[in-house]
Amino acid sequence: MTDDILLSMSGIGKSFAGVAALKEASLTVGRGEVLALIGQNGAGKSTLIKVLTGAVARESGAVRFEGVPVDFRTPQDAQAAGIATIYQEINLVPLRSVAENIFLGREPRRWGLIDWRRMHEQANAVLAQFAVSIDVRQPLHHFNTATQQMVAIARAIGQQARLVVMDEPTSSLDDREVAVLFDVIRQLKARGIGVIFVSHRLDELYVVCDRVTIMRDGMTVADQPMASISKLELVAAMLGRSLEEVKQFGATAFEEDFAVRPAKVLEVEGLKVAPRVAKVDLDVHEGEIVGLAGLLGSGRTETARAIFGADRPQAGTIRFGHETTGFRTSREAIGAGIGFCSEDRKTEGIVPDMSVRDNLTLALLPQLTRHGVIDQARQREIVDRLIKRLGIRLSSADQKIRELSGGNQQKVLLARWLCMKPKLLILDEPTRGIDVAAKAEIQSLIRELARDGLAVLMISSELEELTEGCHRVSVLRDGRSVATLDHAEATEHAIMTAMAHGPDEASISHAGA
Amino acid sequence: MTTMIDASSLPAAAKPGRRSTLLQRQGVVVALLLLILFGAWRYDDFFGLYNIMSVLRYNSMFALVALGMSFVIMTGGIDLSVGATAALASVVSAGLSDIGLGAGLAAGIGAGLAIGLINGLAITRFRLPAFVTTLATMLAARGLALLISGNQSVSVSWETSFTDLGGGDFLDFPIPAWIAIVAFIAGSVLLNFTGFGRTVLAIGGNEEAARLMGLPVARVKTLVYVLTGGLAGLAGVILAAQFGAGQPTEGQGWELFAIAAVVVGGTLLTGGMGSVGFTLAGTLLLGLIFNILNFENGRGDFTLSAYWQSVIRGAFLLIVVLLQNRLARRPT
Amino acid sequence: MQELEVAAPRRRRGLTWPWRGGPLAGALLALGILVLFNLIATPHFTSLQTLYVNLTQVTTIVIVAVGMTMVIATGGIDLSVGSLMAIAGALAPLIFAGRLFGMGPGLLADGLAFVLPVLAAMAFGTFNGWLVARFRIQPIVATLVLFIAGRGIAQVMTNGNLQAFHNASFYALGLGRVLGVPVQVWLMMAVVGAATWVMGRTLYGRQLLAVGGNEAAAQLSGLPVARIKIIVYAVSGLLSGIAGLIVIAINSSSDANLVGLGMELDAIAAVAVGGTALTGGRASIIGTLLGALIIQLLRYTLLSHGVPDAAALVVKATVILAAVYLQQVRRAS
């Protein structure tokens, strides 16, 4: 057994500015083994990975790789030793060619100069192993995310990596692409390469992982074969709760007394937005939460942006209030009573260096202004009220928003729209990348808002959020509306089938199930 | 394996980007050719040996500075200190020119390398922003040049072969132009056929990725500023040799002229893409505007004061930038 | 995760005051040390004359740097300020000397000589903003156009000649005093005060910081991003125009080759020393004022102790690097 151990990390400790990020973390990976590494945000997964890859120096503990004690000071050290890391946001150079991205730092040479022809041949050969055939001379940004990920893996293989660390590799892939990735992982496994697989999508772990290591509060709390642990037990271990508590969490039943009120707030017909959205129809009533489901690239975000006036549609009608033709700018949409929380909190949501107060009132400010001057007393009053209402945890509203946790940042962004008293709120992946507790809070908040009459259009990739948190689910596939399912019909199976196959099969298989 | 990924599944939006990149990069060459044709058609002596030689001789020092600037900009950085560095190098090399050509050359280039090293270390070790760092070293280099020269131009020695560097010919071709040509060929090889060059572009394209890929980011960035400083120093030596004196107040605005040449040459100011050949074309384009203005005034149909050259250069920069903007859609 | 502790929000003004240990503390400390040193070591330092000498030399930098601070807060930069000063400085004498509109000398001519050049500089600034906002050209490149062309325009207008003049109104602007304080210093204080108020209290100030802090978020929150940017470059142009007029008023002459030369770098240096990060999203007007004062006082101190101007440049460079480095360390901790 000891011969088969590729990597062992034990008793790893590390603190940042006096706060312990890792206390007693440990993990082992065998040759040809796929290890799932999971934990809530802040559990210390990413710090542990950074210690392994040399990006962060550990303060205590030992790391052995292939039986030898190692101490990586830089990412170069770890790479030289045979550990490759594939990060969530693919860390390649978009403007450079595919071949360059595979070979950067170890280009084939001839008389000391780069031999481009050989480099292209070798790049083709490496990619062919994964059945990827693309023009390796094209800049990387010409290709989709999944292909870019393959390039990242090809780079790792080319470097003779014996251990590949994948940090949330599936977070931006659709199901087909995930399947390809898993095929590749199985190939790596067959070659005796170890894989550490970090993911928030629990279902995937059972498909591809052999063993799971669970972290909580900087410590390893469980380490066992994947097959011997249930999903519920995984969640329980991550949360550090008893099983009973988790069951309550998972089973928040939707109020059945909901009756659709007559007032239609939003009605979209035949929406077309090049290049992703071909023909989308949907409507949202007062007090209703409509889920918008679909694989990545199915046109969900593009539909939402078009409704919000951020992108211009080519065809179709968008009826909202008195507006019948749709909005030309976000300003118009906001003025009419629509709010939009982008899926990308960091790049499209928060203004990191601004206070929570100013972030929260960013859209409202013009209304708090008289002759160009901000009424600070009113601003403070509104901000304080919303902080209390949403349970935003902070030390002061003057705090910079980047100092808050992801969940609290998301609440501030929700509050940014709530203070506008919108009629329709569009939420794009409102709980992505947020720890489980904050996620539950945000979900129940959304339900509460709907109960008060707000219409909500919620894009989500999480089936549970769609089946349990929505009155209706509208499913998109390749830019077309393919199904609208009532709460009762919207089972995970029905949604998945519609996303994967389209309307006809969906109804058939639904009937069959 | 069941699934094939092929290029046909790409979003269509990628395609115009490819074509525009080509146009964007060749625009400067087309403009340069048009300007040359215009000059040849309108002015008798434009294609004369004397004019060609003097244009090349005079613009070679700008070309050297712009070459260094290309590398810096390709890493996503900027170097405002090049003009002042050239002035400092011209003073230092002029002061040592009586010892000989070698001493003058070494002193000038050495001064440039030193300033470049300070820039590089401040930016990589102390993580200061390039803009502010090189702004400060620009002031410092200017101050040193003035201090060393006592606020006056420093005559070069005519005894040694130092002045050949500016006014001399080799195989009937100006020596400064030889130097620039050799430097550009070397620069092109460096960029396209060495790990250093690829790393330069990788840093500009995505510095964090380059670091995680294990590329020697800090070393290459430092070297790029050193290289640029050295080239600015070389330009300063040529300046002293050409004008017969070290000029402590010369070189003002060279940095922005060089940036303009690089941008006109189609190199992205955000880094990650670029070509030294097109930078050369950009430099010649901006240089020829001055030349053509002289010819126009020489013809005497109507007179444009020399001050028009900066107006026309600015207009050219504007047109090129607007064209690039129309043609190129930045990848996200 | 942070623990739940909703503290009572502190009362807070629009500014971050230095004694709170805000970002200005370092700059204020440096200024204090410089003043203290001079009080001890420089003869006649306490005279009013010394104060005015220093203030009048710093007014134009401060006025331009205030605009630069706001531009930098949006994540931009304005390299054209020096050239716009030259344009304004070249226009004014042409107007009141009657060469432009054939207007006789008089109050109307003087008034137009104040207003039109400033409006012209503002128009050029608007052009910068238009390039940045509508065409999404990087600010360095967009303003490089007028950096190169702007001085040329000023030189072409005057044929590169020095325009010397005697004009009572401009004399007042350059050398006049109100309540014993030079007019231009009043002007500087008004500009600093107005900008501080705008940044601290108004909608525009807040929106400007939001655009610089996260443009995509600002856009999606319905902020008029393009308009905000165009206005900031227009303001920078306007302030450059005012500074250009002050320079020619002090000299009683206008030289298009020299007015505002190198001003873009002086202004950026003042902004950097004053603690405004060049990455945008932050702005400290008072910091910029302190930054300009530090650089000026440093130069004065060195000069009055016999250190040549050239050496002062080297010291200035060191101070800029040290200031930026200290801010860096501060931010990291």
A258 vs C58, higher pLDDT: C58
CB distance C24 to C16 below 8 Å: yes
Chain B hits for C155, CB-CB cut-off 8 Å, are 305, 307, 310
- Is B277 within 8 Å of chain A by CB? no
User: Are residues A374 and C203, on separate chains, in Cβ contact within 8 Å?
Assistant: yes
The answer to whether the CB atoms of C147 and B322 lie below 8 A apart is no
Q: Which residues of chain A have pLDDT under 50?
A: 1-2, 246-254, 256-257, 504-513
Q: How close A68 gets to chain C, by Cα (Å)? A: 35
Residue B307 maps to which CATH number?
1.10.3470
* Residue in B closest to A92 by C-alpha: B209
Query: What pLDDT is attached to residue A42?
Result: 65
How many angstroms separate the CA atoms of A348 and A346, rounded?
6
Mean pLDDT of chain B, nearest integer: 84
**pLDDT higher than threshold 90 for residue B306:** no
Q: Do A275 and B332 touch (CB under 8 A)?
A: no
Report how far residue A481's alpha carbon sits from residue B226's, in angstroms, rounded to the nearest whole number: 58
Question: Torsion angle of alpha carbons C225, C228, C232, C238, nearest 10°?
Answer: 140
Residue B176, token pair as written in the block: 């400064």
Could you give the CA distance from residue B160 to residue B167 in angstroms, rounded to a whole number?
13
- The residue type of C333 is S
Tokens representing C271 are 């902004």
Task: Calculate mean pLDDT across residues C112-122.
Answer: 94
Burial per residue of B284-320, b for 16 or more beta-carbon CB atoms within 10 angstroms, e otherwise: bbbbbbbbbbeebeeeeeeeeeebbbbbbbbbbbbeb
For residue C131, give the chain B residue with the closest CA.
Answer: B322
Instruction: Note whether C324 contacts B147, CB cutoff 8 Å.
Output: no
Strand A472-477 relative to strand A264-273, pairing:
unpaired
Mean pLDDT lowest for which of B109-123, C55-69, C261-275? C261-275
Give first-to-last CA distance, chain C, whole Å: 20
Chains that touch C (3 or more CB pairs under 8 A): A, B
In this complex, which of C9, C213, C224 lies closest to A380 when CB atoms are compared?
C9
Chain B residue nearest residue C312, CA to CA: B143
B78/C140 CB distance under 8 A: yes
The nearest alpha carbon in chain C to B151 belongs to C310
Instruction: Note whether residue B258 is domain-resident.
Output: yes
Q: Which of A400, A407, B60, A502 is nearest to C4 (CA)?
A: A407
Instruction: Please count the CA atoms within 13 angstroms of the CA of B79 that sit on its side-chain side.
Output: 41
The answer to whether residue B213 sits within a structural domain is: yes
- What pLDDT score does A89 carry? 67
Tokens in use for B91? 């003073």
pLDDT tens string C3-45: 333 333 344 444 444 444 456 777 888 888 888 888 888 777 7
* Structural domain of B184: 17-327
Is B70 inside a domain boundary? yes
Distance CA(A399)–CA(C9), nearest Å, equals: 10
| Contact call for B7 and A76, based on CB within 8 A | no
Q: What is the pLDDT of residue A431?
A: 86
Main-chain dihedrals φ then ψ at residue A473, nearest 5 degrees: -125, 125
Predicted confidence (pLDDT) per residue in C59-115, tens digit: 999 999 999 999 999 999 999 999 999 999 999 988 887 776 766 667 788 888 899
The per-residue pLDDT for C14 is 41
* More confident of the two residues A177 and B37: B37
Backbone angles phi, psi at B291, to 5 degrees: -60, -45
Q: CA B316 from chain center: how many Å?
A: 17
CA–CA min distance A148, chain B (Å): 11
* Cα separation values, B148 from A266, B241, C48, Å: 75, 18, 35
**Are B321 and C141 an interchain contact pair (Cβ–Cβ within 8 Å)?**
yes
Which of C260, C231, C289, C275 lies closest to C76 in space, CA to CA? Answer: C231
- Which residue, among A183, A209, A182, has the nearest Cα to A198 in the 3D structure? A209
Average pLDDT, rounded, for chain C: 85
Instruction: For residue C33, give Cα distances in angstroms to A214, C36, C127.
Output: 56, 5, 42
| Chain B interface includes A132 (CB < 8 A) | yes
The dihedral through the CA atoms of C79, C81, C82, C86 has a sign that is positive
Q: Which long-range contacts (CB under 8 A, 24 or more apart) does B167-175 make?
A: B167/B57, B167/B241, B167/B242, B173/B53, B174/B53, B174/B56, B174/B57, B174/B60
Mean pLDDT of C190-219: 94
A357-386 in b/e form (b: 16+ CB < 10 A) is: bbbbbbbbbbebbeeeebebeebbebbeeb
In a domain, B47, yes or no: yes
pLDDT at C12: 42
CA A70, CA A56: separation in Å to the nearest integer? 14
**Integer Cα distance of C142 and C78 in angstroms:** 9
Nearest to B272 among A74, A93, A133 (CB): A93
**How many Cα atoms sit within 13 Å of A438 on the Cβ side?**
26
> What is the structure's pLDDT at B99?
86
**Nearest-CB residue to B128 (from C141, C142, C324):** C324
Output the pLDDT for position B297: 79
Say what percent of chain B tops pLDDT 90.
37
Q: Give percent of chain C with pLDDT exceeding 90.
A: 44
Q: What is the dihedral of CA A466, A470, A472, A478, to 10 degrees?
A: -30
Based on C-alpha coordinates, what's the Rg of chain C?
21
The letter for the amino acid at B189 is V
Q: Each residue of B216-271: pLDDT tens digit?
A: 899 999 999 999 999 999 999 999 999 888 889 888 888 888 988 998 887 877 77
Asked if pLDDT for residue B10 goes beyond 50, the answer is no
What's the pLDDT tens digit per position in C207-247? 999 999 999 999 999 999 999 999 999 999 999 999 999 99
Q: Are A494 and A485 a contacting pair, CB within 8 Å?
A: yes
Tally of structural domains, chain B: 1
Question: Is B111 contained in some domain?
Answer: yes
Cβ of A372 within 8 Å of Cβ of C219? The answer is no
Contact B143, C318 (CB under 8 A): no
Of A394, C321, A443, give the one whose Cα is nearest residue B129. Answer: C321
Give A158-182 pLDDT, tens digit per residue.
Answer: 888 899 998 877 766 777 778 888 8
Q: How far apart are CA B231 and CA B62, in angstroms?
A: 10
Neighbours of B11 (CB within 10 A): 12
Which of A480, B33, B125 lies closest to C328 in space, CA to CA? B125
How do residues B158-179 score in pLDDT, each as one tens digit? 777 888 887 788 888 889 999 9
How close is the nearest chain C Cα to the Cα of A448, in Å?
22
pLDDT at B88 over 90: yes
C273 touches chain B (CB under 8 A): no
Beta carbons within 8 Å of A284's beta carbon, 6+ residues apart: A264, A265, A266, A290, A424, A455, A456, A457
Q: Give the neighbor-by-neighbor strand order of the sheet with A472-477.
A: A315-320, A264-273, A277-285, A480-486, A472-477, A289-293, A455-459, A424-428, A338-341
CA distance B38 to B293: 12
Alpha carbons A271 and A300: distance in angstroms, whole number = 12
Residue B66 lies in a domain: yes
| Pairwise CA distance, residues C58 & C314, whole Å | 19
CATH of span C2-8+25-35+46-332:
1.10.3470
CB of B4 within 8 Å of a chain A CB? The answer is yes
pLDDT-above-70 percentage for chain B: 89
Q: Which residues in chain C touch residue B322, judged by CB atoms under 8 angstroms apart?
A: 135, 137
What is the per-residue pLDDT for C332? 64
CB atoms A104 and B202 under 8 Å:
yes
